[in-house]
Amino acid sequence: MVQAQRACLTSDYIARQLAEDASFKYQLAEVEKFIQSSSGNTNIIMSSTRAGAEMTIKIPVVIHVLYNTQDQNITDAQIKSGLEALNRDFRRNNADTTNTPARFKNIAADVQIEFVLATADPKGRFTTGVIRKQTSITDFKMDDKIKFSSQGGSDAWDSKSYLNIWIGNMRNLLGYSSSPGSAPEKDGVVITTKAFGTINAPAPYHLGRTAVHEVGHWLGLRHIWGETYCGDDLVDDTPIQGGYTTGCPTGFKTSCSNGDMGDMYMNYMDFTDDACMNLFTVGQKNRMRSLFNDGGPRFSLLLSKGLNEPWLSESPLPEISPVNPVIQIFPNPAVNELTLVLSNAWLGKEISIQSINGILIQKVKITSLTTKINIALFTPGLYMITGDALGEKIHSKFIKL
């Protein structure tokens, strides 16, 4: 069951990264220096077709679905609804803009950022933009295991070219996000299974706004209360606010002597229920879009080929069950290198490569679910790969050309 109070742990996640990596503080400071120097430039990222007009930024997205049970393997329709919710709110096409208080209507913004499932993977092969993997992990936590195949998750695609969104079962946690400047292999957004999209997502997080909130973090936004009582979210047009807001309040609320403006508890970066969120501000828009300026931490996404027509006909490697002991071999036949696709059952185990006559050629210890083996010096012919997994002797064959 999804919890009754929004639980975004992005600020805790960043604090943990700071504690684990002393250099991360420097990275965050450099990103903030870049934002402050460029977010006031309103003529950045210009359209090539309309002089003087800001272009709509299209971001290639890859969705990693991690499921332990089949009911967690969310449908394509639910994934589609999650992308639609992101685009609805970032483009301010949400029907509940009518609920934006009059005092905030003139600063409510169409961010002009859209999110599109990738059509080409990092190697140029066709993709639906969705990766599905069964996992032995029953509940993911804020420990980034969901981001690594070797730990029961799914490896990130190149975060310079894609927004990685991981969806998996989490207990008492809606989601968390990396921040601009984070390690590339961990860069992206994590959402719990039952809070992504608008299908099969129970209230109060049924409008897809958990992803809207977390992607806001991924694009450099802070919580509207600035992570502390009467804190600063570094955006000029969001009023100072005493803390986070829960539930679905109505009417005027004030704190921190914010005067006639009052609290902006309907902002996507507060903790209110989905039904009571309805705006980003112009200041937040400028902060997010500044990241795409030349030299910014999200600039490379503008150069991504992730939305291009695929340029390589090779198919991606298949995903297999975490407990399936089968050894899958690609390509087969092979000339110089084999790729073994394995399940969690093989981690830490050893496999043997033998000639067809039973002569041992090589032993390999498995430390990754995708293991590459150099066979360039092997004599052409038929070979066997054998090993023990789950108490079962497994055999696979390959041909060296």
- For residue 35, the surrounding DSSP H or E stretch is helix 23-38
- Burial class of 168 by CB neighbour count within 10 A (0 to 12, 13 to 18, 19+): buried
CA 325 – CA 376 distance, rounded (Å): 26
Count the neighbouring beta carbons within 10 Å of the beta carbon of residue 251: 6
CA 389 – CA 3 distance, rounded (Å): 39
**DSSP string over 273-319:** -GGG--B-BHHHHHHHHHTTSTTSTTGGGGG--TTSPP-B-PPPPPP
| Cis bond before residue 239 (omega within 30° of 0) | no
Judge whether 137 and 152 are in contact, CB under 8 Å. Answer: yes
Q: Pairing state of beta strands 381-389 and 350-355?
A: antiparallel
- Residue from 20, 32, 84, 214 carrying the catalytic annotation: 214
Whether 214 is a known active-site residue: answer yes
Judge whether 387 and 350 are in contact, CB under 8 Å. Answer: yes
From the list 144, 152, 151, 79, the residue with the least C-alpha distance to 118 is 79
List the catalytic residues. Answer: 214
